[in-house]
Structure 1
């Protein structure tokens, strides 16, 4: 199969989804042209221009860097259709109207390049019917592509073939969407609402039905159906507000109109409360009101009886929280047998989900794997319905569901399919097995699709715990209670921090030092990587508490020095040390990353020095790094003041700024232009290992230790003059002023002349001195205890 390259893409339709899809192309560095109708008045591209400008304001941010909205090329259908000939991929994302989409296809068809793929971003329209508006020669290169909102953050993308779609086209598009856009692809059958919305929206409708039956308020339901249940933290009704109530209603209408024979059709009716909200223009978050409304800092919820908004914040009963922490078999049994209405409600919505997914598996998906991954990636579930069912005991849960159906408690009287109770699924205790997942349509277990791109995912997300466990894989060299050091290939060593939040304790420090020594002696490099959504949340202050209680701040100084020595050991290691970042890298985690030879970061990496939140300064070399980088930048412009080069680094550290994407982390200086940003989180280790090998193969040598100039006491005075104004104006507290002044002292080198040459050891000694002094300050101790007890920063 020839390689399909997307050198330029086009998105047709600058609405909410189209503009955000275009924004994500910019995030992953694919040039994109965004089209819409020509404006009737003023500049022809006014509609697109407004949409692009709005991208800068949206939350969560669709762009990694807001200013990169300018990189989206603006176009309209009247003047610019010739630009389509330059595009390798064209995604249509206009309103969900079959006639409008087909009219647009007729308009663009003459301008599409012979090799280009054309795809419709639709949440449920028939791909077969859409394809009929295209000329015969274009149909093999047309399919459906369904992004979930918001496109930057939601992992799921469904690909839906039309009857004439060429198989290699789907493979090419799946490859690009996976590695180029960083998404998880599920192939869906061309049935109404495809996989995720078909099952997920039915789950939402069932939740609304059962909530009314058990008389539960929206805030309680959202607490019950959020993180406690292993689903998205927004729960059900808040999720509906985020998605848009009009969008939800559209998906429901598609089910009403196109699934007349569905045995659950009685519940496809648009809930009256949803219809009423839409009629009032309360379309959810984008309209400022839906099931919830924000008034100032208060979040109000709708009371359907009063038809007005009332204070929200009610939570699930404490006993339910305890039940939901039990293992799956015990959990479901307790929920089903409890007399508590909230427990009965949870069993009911789980039962309804199992029932619907089983009845429709043969119609909507190739196998149970696609259903579970679609619900995970599209609806934020930690387990899909089949996974949970299987983990709770397949046969027992099936019997419970069957009993409820026969007792008239279920939403439909449709029986569970015969394969649930008989044959291979019953014999194997579920739908997921090492050889594959159950295909109800084919009557067998089918393996996951193998494409070359998936070779880049060394430990891909899998279903029902069937994937390889990275912390058990490879050849283990050694481990301690908080670190595992291992290798996959015998060439590059991998260090995986296993402590809670991957906090860096003395145990982790000791293990990483040993890993560097081992890598230098026997391997080409060392990669620091862990197989979850976190690099490191920083230093483990709690682990140092016994030392602090026994010896006070002075007792912490030796431990802090060991951590600083680790950073320098990593920086000057004889082999390349590569940090593979994913999720958060804060405080000490950020300091560890910046001292590595190279960083490979997933797009969603959140990096920053946040120590001021606990009343401290960065104490493991973070400020030394900022000062050194400023000096390196200043060296490119000799005979200039160093202070301008320190400004951004000082502000980031003093304000605890965190890059909210890998792109923004690069702008803050925590990632360099030479570092690699990887769109797909599961490709991170593969790329990091290759970076380590490539650096070694190119004759890697660590940087030479050298002294560098600092801004000195005059720089400190300039920064402090600005801080005084902020303190006296009430923008920062007296303790904030003290912390920021100490940050300035380190960055500028203390009481020395401007231009004085200093070493990293010298600046780290200043860091250590001020760090330990702050530990003894009552205001800092208040902040530390507040963070340990509540997880939230204290401002004092």
Structure 2
């Protein structure tokens, strides 16, 4: 499927952000909306594009990408739709409005263009009826979740006449080009994720009222403690928008009159009151929660007013939730009389009941339901996974007992297949009631690129590959392995440490793995699932500082530098495959590789300043090399202009918020690969390593004459620091750390424009690093970070 230009109809919240994510993928986008009632006709869209830069989290991976979005309006620009291979409608959820727009745009679509609706729950079949017969095979639902850049799920919903081949091609394109995870949904109201997710919210609300619990109390137990997002239940409602929640509930109420749970498809009176008063959630700064200064208030329906939020978890409930065994945990909740435990058991039970009853009608199989809830609502496990992990037969029996006793939200019986099986996920696939069989994962070619795709509970694990060599205990060291079926000549080097930190065993492992790759392989990929690496093992550093073992620490830093240089100067290409955080030493490792393949959501940075240190694994040296090369091509050959931004980046511990920003900040190179789907990073990196090897790649020679900014550069950086210190923006120790960063970047206390070797700069940064380690303030920062996970500003 070749798509170069996309049109998005509707510049509201979703439309503008879908356009932004298409721009993230390197596509040209035309964003349409109504002409402005006064002034330039494209004002509505221009404001929407400008507003993208103000949103947090940012819809654009780089603000510069906004230039890829062209404003347009329905009055004068419909002919431009003919330029686009894909047109996505994303206007308000009003059937009449959508059908009216379809009549206007259909004549202008290119003959082979795909037309899709981003509706969150309206009938795709009914929408298709508003299109010419010739266009219907190229029409379907493509439901993005908000915010489109960050939420992985896209529900793909066919209309009655949609061409099956088009759906397959579109699924592949959405997966690789936009980085999405696709679930095929049936054309039922609210499809899969919103149907189950909103029912889950309604179930929690029902049991909150029944058990007399407070909203903040419920949020304390329905968030991370049960594998759900921090926003839990009521904060999620505020984030989504209470009016939006009301709309989705209304769709269920109107479109599902025969649903056995229909009586519960209604909002509580207190929520109607909030909506009527304009308290719609986060977008109006007040909803179920409200912030006053630094204090968080929560709505109390009995008083129709707000109070300070507390949200404490009962001790006995916390103990149950801390249990590791899922069966013990769920059984403990069912047996515990505390209202908090009863809310959790009741909510789990009713969601399990609802999903089992409706599975045949809303999804092809149980995997689609669980995947939709993982990817669309951020659940750590889907409902069927949770049920299966807790003991399928035992939980089914408990649900049947509660139904018989009238404790469940509906008296609808569980389907017979529930009692005929011991779970829904197995090595052979996931259960489909319609097919009365297990269905394997989709076999589309695009999924062959996902070499380590996540698996649901009960599914076969991803291929582990062939281990070539490994070192260290289970929680440390590295593993060198390969995937012979794909490429036996390219090895993969993965860290086994927690958060993939770099300690002594990892350093020795990197050196040995590079040596083995040079001897036995054609190339090497440095990869591990997110995070890539959060840097040096700070625990080991802190313990060595406490013991006064600074000579040993200097040896470790020297070994770190040696490992980084081994990656840079290996006789086979080393490709870093990055997803998630790549911080401090992890960032330095990827900077030294021959090439980088980065997931769009890669967060890269040299953050050592946060603990009172500077980069000493070659990060400062790499920035100095970049400045040297850029200056050689610039008029006058002055190095410092190219050092200044690097200095600010290191001194402020700036972290790139996307792969695009990583390139802009100099952590990655313009020629590196940016991959939208994180689970394709390893595949692309293996292919890239093979291509480099086939092209006769050879390592760069060590630089022996790097022009550095020297004393004048250090002095110029110090002027900036003096102003910040006098203004009270930085502490005395911040000043000391930032000056050390400037000294390393500028090549040390040498003459301006002096020529030094790479090793000289490495020696400078290592000496400064160890000097900072010996200061009390840095030791305090390290201890505070280890204790709290937050930087100390001392």
Q: What's the TM-score once normalised by structure 1's chain length?
A: 0.97
Q: Distance in 2 between matches of 1:669 and 1:338?
A: 55
CA contact (8 A) 2:7 2:87 kept: yes
In the other structure, the counterpart of 2:483 is: 488
Instruction: Tell me the CA shift for residue 469 of structure 1.
Output: 3.8
Q: Distance in 2 between matches of 1:614 and 1:322?
A: 34
Correspondences of 1:387-402 after superposition (within 5 Å): 387-402=385-400
Q: Distance in 1 between matches of 2:436 and 2:470?
A: 45
In the other structure, the counterpart of 1:685 is: 682
Q: Distance in 2 between matches of 1:701 and 1:280?
A: 68
Q: Distance in 2 between matches of 1:776 and 1:754?
A: 29
In the other structure, the counterpart of 2:358 is: 360
Correspondences of 1:228-243 after superposition (within 5 Å): 228-243=225-240
4+ residue segments displaced more than 6 Å: none
Q: Distance in 2 between matches of 1:406 and 1:615?
A: 63
Correspondences of 1:698-777 after superposition (within 5 Å): 698-706=695-703, 707-777=705-775
CA contact (8 A) 2:22 2:178 kept: yes
Q: Do residues 173 (structure 1) and 170 (structure 2) align?
A: yes
Q: Distance in 1 between matches of 2:455 and 2:536?
A: 31
Structure 2 stretches of 5 or more lacking a match? Answer: none
Instruction: Tell me the CA shift for residue 664 of structure 1.
Output: 1.2
Residue aligned with 1:639, SS: helix
When the two chains are superposed, the root-mean-square deviation of aligned CA atoms in Å is 1.2
Q: Do residues 442 (structure 1) and 427 (structure 2) align?
A: no
CA contact (8 A) 1:159 1:187 kept: yes
Instruction: Tell me the CA shift for residue 338 of structure 1.
Output: 1.0
Q: Distance in 1 between matches of 2:460 and 2:55?
A: 36
Residue aligned with 1:273, SS: helix
2:27 corresponds, among 22, 30, 52, to: 30
Correspondences of 1:609-648 after superposition (within 5 Å): 609-648=606-645
Residue aligned with 1:6, SS: coil
CA contact (8 A) 1:25 1:181 kept: yes
Residue deviations 1:241-278 (CA, integer Å, cap 9, x gap): 11111111111000000111100111101222221121
Instruction: Tell me the CA shift for residue 530 of structure 1.
Output: 1.1
Q: Do residues 430 (structure 1) and 427 (structure 2) align?
A: no
Q: Distance in 2 between matches of 1:328 and 1:549?
A: 40
Residue aligned with 1:535, SS: coil
Residue deviations 1:275-301 (CA, integer Å, cap 9, x gap): 112111111111111111222333222
Correspondences of 1:221-620 after superposition (within 5 Å): 221-325=218-322, 326-422=324-420, 426=421, 429-469=422-462, 472-481=464-473, 482=476, 483-489=478-484, 490-531=488-529, 533-620=530-617
1:185 corresponds, among 166, 182, 187, to: 182
Residue deviations 1:572-601 (CA, integer Å, cap 9, x gap): 111111111111001111111111111111
Residue deviations 1:396-448 (CA, integer Å, cap 9, x gap): 000011111111111111111111112xxx2xx11112222111122221122
Residue deviations 1:314-373 (CA, integer Å, cap 9, x gap): 232344333223211111111111122211111111111101100100110000010000
Correspondences of 1:104-183 after superposition (within 5 Å): 104-183=101-180
In the other structure, the counterpart of 2:79 is: 82
Moved more, 671-680 or 238-247: 238-247
Residue aligned with 1:659, SS: coil
Instruction: Tell me the CA shift for residue 33 of structure 1.
Output: 0.5
Q: Do residues 56 (structure 1) and 71 (structure 2) align?
A: no
In the other structure, the counterpart of 2:694 is: 697
Residue deviations 1:87-143 (CA, integer Å, cap 9, x gap): 111000000000100111110111111111100001100000000000000000000
Q: Distance in 2 between matches of 1:397 and 1:466?
A: 20
Instruction: Tell me the CA shift for residue 7 of structure 1.
Output: 0.8
In the other structure, the counterpart of 1:211 is: 208
CA contact (8 A) 2:115 2:138 kept: yes
Pick closer, same or farther for the CA change 1:530–1:589 going to 2, 3 Å: same
Q: Distance in 2 between matches of 1:524 and 1:319?
A: 57
CA contact (8 A) 1:477 1:487 kept: no
Q: What's the TM-score once normalised by structure 2's chain length?
A: 0.97
Instruction: Tell me the CA shift for residue 40 of structure 1.
Output: 1.2
Residue deviations 1:603-638 (CA, integer Å, cap 9, x gap): 111000111111111121111111111111111115
Residue aligned with 2:430, SS: strand
CA contact (8 A) 1:253 1:270 kept: no
CA contact (8 A) 2:192 2:362 kept: yes
CA contact (8 A) 2:467 2:479 kept: no
Instruction: Tell me the CA shift for residue 501 of structure 1.
Output: 0.9
Residue aligned with 1:421, SS: helix
Moved more, 714-723 or 311-320: 311-320
Residue aligned with 1:534, SS: coil
CA contact (8 A) 1:553 1:773 kept: no
In the other structure, the counterpart of 1:19 is: 16
Pick closer, same or farther for the CA change 1:670–1:315 going to 2, 3 Å: farther
Instruction: Tell me the CA shift for residue 493 of structure 1.
Output: 0.8
Instruction: Tell me the CA shift for residue 218 of structure 1.
Output: 2.0
Residue aligned with 2:596, SS: strand
Residue deviations 1:21-47 (CA, integer Å, cap 9, x gap): 000001110111100011111010011
Pick closer, same or farther for the CA change 1:659–1:274 going to 2, 3 Å: same
Residue aligned with 1:795, SS: coil
